[in-house]
Structure 1
Amino acid sequence: MRILVTGASGFVGKAVVRQLVQDGHEVWAGSRRGESVGGARGVTLDVTDPGSAQRAAGQADPQAVVHLVGIIAEAGDQTFERVHVEGTRNVLAATPRGARYVHMSALGAREDSGSRYSSSKARAEALVRASGLDWTVFQPSLIFGVGDDFFGRVLRELVSTAPVVPQIGDGSFPFRPVSVQDVAQAFARAAGGRTGLRGTFALTGPEEFSFRQLLELELGALGKRKPIVPVPLPLMNLAVPLMQVLPSPPITRDQYAMLKEGNTAPNEPARSTFDLPMLRLQDHLPQIVQAALKK
């Protein structure tokens, strides 16, 4: 099957492309630079440019489109609205009417979210559902794997920077991280299956952790022992906006809003529908942080 992947050069994109190629599909890897990824053909694709999306789809002539492009933090004209909402609108318009469409959203996506990231993801989902295409939407929790941003950078820096580890509030916020291998397999099977599967699926791992437990796991993977000190939410509510004046704030307003909400859901029906391996965070975290330290 001919499959076009947007965001193919990103962390999840590379994993999805590898899985699709391994499964025997003819894959076109869409990215701004148009480079080849994991044995797939490269094609220039900027989802914020309607013409670029149309040209890439015309070149690939896909039987399925996997749309993965997303940003965690806004920068310049790369806003959540432009990338998540308008980018999705452009890719949907470029997708051939008979093609299957598989969409990357996020767990917790809802229009009334306190996070602009989550709100924009929900608006993009609404466009997908109204598209008339044969669609599947995936909503992953925190995605872990070598090269990830959260466990490899954000959480690592949080537990490494100061003599004590700051814990947001009481640390009880729940999370159910999912491996990038599980995510890649879900996307590949939804895109390359013999029949379409319309629906929205949460992608979560086999175990749930509190935020405090994630801090403890990260410390253990780094071989560090430090006291974990709760920071009251009223104080965090004051500190996070002040952090935004830094060139690279340790946590953005949107990341803070999402952390407070937690990020968990049952792993069914995605686990059984797509026969996912359900890899465990604690088995892979040491490799993730060690790879990040070598950069």
Structure 2
Amino acid sequence: MKVLVTGASGFVGTAVVRELSRRGHEVWAGSREGRAVAGARGVRLDVTDAGSVVRAVAEADPDVVVHLVGIIVEKGEQSFERVHVEGTRHVLAATPRGARYVHMSALGADPQSESGYSATKGRAEALVRGSGLPYTIFRPSLIFGPGDDFFGRVLRELVSTAPIVPQIGDGSFPFRPVSVQDVAQAFAGAVDGQGVGETYALTGPDEFTFRQLLELELRALGKSKPIVPVPLVLMNLAVPLMQVLPNPPITKDQYAMLKEGNTAPNEPARSVFGLPMRRLADDLPGLLAAGRASGQAAG
């Protein structure tokens, strides 16, 4: 089948393109740069530009559209509303009526969420369900793997920068991280025709509290530091003040998402798509070592 993947040059996109190509699909890798990804042919596609999306879809003439584009932090004109909601609207409008559509949302997607990220992901889901297209929606938790941003950068910096490790509140917020390999396999299964008309949470085999994630990151880095709780009342005052910094250590939106937690059972996705369920504790030391080696080579 011919498959057009939006956001193909990103962390998840590269893994999905690679898995689809391995399964023998003709993959078109859509990105703003239009470059080839993992052997797939590149096509210029900017989801915030309706004309760009129409042209890319016309060039690829896909049987399936896989929409992966999303942002974690708003920058300039790249707002959650513009990328998640309007971008999804553009992709849905351009998708051929005879094609299937596979959508990456997020665990916690809810139009009523305090988090702008989660709220716009929820509104985008509503557009998908009302599109009339045969769809599958995936809601991943935190995704880990080579090149991930949360475990490879955000959490690493949090436990490495200061002599102590700050913990938000009592650290009890739950998370169930999922590997990028599991995510890619689920998306490829949907492209192959599994799970049409359904919405699936994508979570891993193990649940962690935020404190346990901090402890796991420290062990994987071979560090030993005290973890110091920061009361939520102080965080509620400090986080807005941090926003005056050029690159705040945590945005107001990320703070809202952390307090909400990010967990759900891994069934039925595990069984429907035959997911291997890679474990964070097994993979994290190697991922961090690879990131360290890459950083040293770049320097």
Residue 230, structure 1, aligned to residue 223, structure 2: no
Amino acid at match of 1:47: V
Match of 2:209 in 1: 210
Q: Distance in 1 between matches of 2:249 and 2:225?
A: 19
Partner of 1:28: 28
Q: What amino acid is aligned across from residue 166 of structure 1 in structure 2?
A: P
Residues 158-237 of structure 1: matches in 2 within 5 Å?
A: 158-193=158-193, 197-237=196-236
User: Are positions 1:51 and 2:39 aligned together?
Assistant: no
CA contact (8 A) 2:195 2:272 kept: no
- Aligned-residue offset at 1:181: 0.2
Q: For residue 203 of structure 1, report the CA deviation from its aligned partner.
A: 0.2
TM-score, normalising length: structure 2:
0.97
Residue aligning to 1:37: 37
* Unmatched segments (≥5 aa) in structure 1: none
The residue that corresponds to 1:288 in the other structure is 287
Residue 251 (structure 1) aligns with: 250
Q: CA RMSD in A?
A: 0.8
Identical columns (%): 77
Is the 1:190–1:197 contact (alpha carbons within 8 Å) kept by the matching residues of 2? yes
Structure 1 equivalent of residue 104 of structure 2: 104
Distance 1:26 1:10 in 2: 19
* Gapped regions of structure 2 (runs ≥ 5): none
What amino acid is the match of 2:210? F
Identify the residue that residue 125 of structure 1 maps to in structure 2: 125
Mapped partners of 1:125, 1:291: distance in 2? 35
Distance 2:81 2:191 in 1: 26
Contact 2:142–2:175 (8 Å) recurs in 1 = yes
- Structure 1 counterpart of 2:114: 114
Deviation at 1:243, TM superposition (A): 1.2
- The residue type equivalent to 2:72 in the other structure is I
Question: Given residue 65 of structure 2, which amino acid in structure 1 is its aligned partner?
Answer: V
Q: Which amino acid aligns with 1:94?
A: A
Cα deviation 1:147-177 (Å, max 9, x = unaligned): 0010001100000111000000000000000
1:254-280 CA-partner distances (Å, limit 9, x unpaired): 111000110000000000000000000
Could you tell me how far 1:98 is from its partner in structure 2?
A: 0.8
Q: Is the 8 A contact 1:134 1:196 kept in 2?
A: no
2:119 partner letter: S
Distance 2:117 2:291 in 1: 25
Query: Partner residue of 2:152?
Result: 152
> Match of 2:79?
79
CA contact (8 A) 1:64 1:192 kept: no
TM-score under structure 1 normalisation? 0.98
Count of residue pairs the alignment pairs up: 294
Q: CA deviation at 1:217?
A: 0.3
d(CA) in 2 for partners of 1:269 and 1:34? 35
Letter in 2 for 1:74: E
For residues 24-67 of structure 1, the C-alpha deviation after alignment (integer angstroms, 9 at most, x for no partner) is 00000000010000111100000000000000000000000000
Task: State how far apart, in whole Å, the 2-side matches of 1:283 and 1:4 are.
Answer: 33
